[in-house]
């Protein structure tokens, strides 16, 4: 099961009206990343806009990680630098690095000049502002994500 959540973004990508991509991550993916979203992925992305939390139960290899990566790219792109943050985790470091963040890096490379740079240590910076990171903290570390926050 993959769980991803975020509230509806407040701003659109540069050059678009504020409302154009606010509640339309599927449209954003088509136009900004030139990607294809199949119906179930669209349902997941729509649920992220409509609900604070979304859980996806499915088999392996159907595009959950790709969808989560697109949601991360969308989230950062539709907010001004420094106001939004993506923090991801998974049961193993290999899943964080070689699965989700590899998809994020691929989407970032393939998009229409998405902002910033994503490093091989799973950090996304726009200038000197950290806007995204992948982590695998120690198991049972209840403080692992404290203090990491932004407005969005």
pLDDT, tens digit, 9 for 90 and up, residues 93-148? 999 999 999 999 999 998 778 999 999 999 999 999 999 999 998 888 888 878 78
Cβ–Cβ under 8 Å, residues 150 and 83: yes
Strand pairing class (2-4; 54-56): antiparallel
Cβ–Cβ under 8 Å, residues 119 and 145: no
- 7 - beta bridge partners? none
Cβ–Cβ under 8 Å, residues 114 and 73: yes
- Per the model's pLDDT, the better-predicted residue between 15 and 40 turns out to be 40
pLDDT, tens digit, 9 for 90 and up, residues 37-85? 999 999 999 999 999 899 998 888 889 999 999 999 999 998 888 899 9
pLDDT, tens digit, 9 for 90 and up, residues 74-93? 999 988 888 999 999 989 99
Quote the CA–CA distance of 16 and 30 in Å, as a whole number. 14
pLDDT at 12 over 80: no
- Residue 80: exposed, middle, or buried by beta-carbon count in 10 A (0-12, 13-18, 19+)? middle
The pLDDT of residue 16 is: 52
């Amino acid at each position: 099961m993959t769980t991803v959540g975020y509230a509806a973004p407040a701003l659109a990508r540069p050059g678009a009206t504020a409302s154009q991509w606010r509640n339309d991550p599927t449209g954003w993916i088509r136009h900004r990343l030139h990607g294809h979203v199949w119906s179930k992925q669209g349902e997941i992305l729509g649920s992220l806009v409509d609900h604070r939390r979304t859980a996806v139960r499915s088999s392996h290899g159907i595009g959950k990680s790709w969808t989560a990566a697109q949601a991360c790219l969308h989230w950062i792109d539709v907010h001004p630098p420094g106001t939004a943050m993506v923090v991801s985790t998974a049961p193993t470091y290999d899943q964080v690095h070689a699965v989700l963040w590899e998809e994020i890096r691929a989407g970032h490379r393939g998009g229409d000049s998405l902002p910033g740079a994503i490093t091989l240590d799973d950090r996304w910076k726009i200038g000197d502002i950290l806007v995204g990171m992948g982590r695998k903290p120690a198991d049972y570390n209840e403080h692992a994500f404290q203090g990491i926050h932004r407005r969005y």
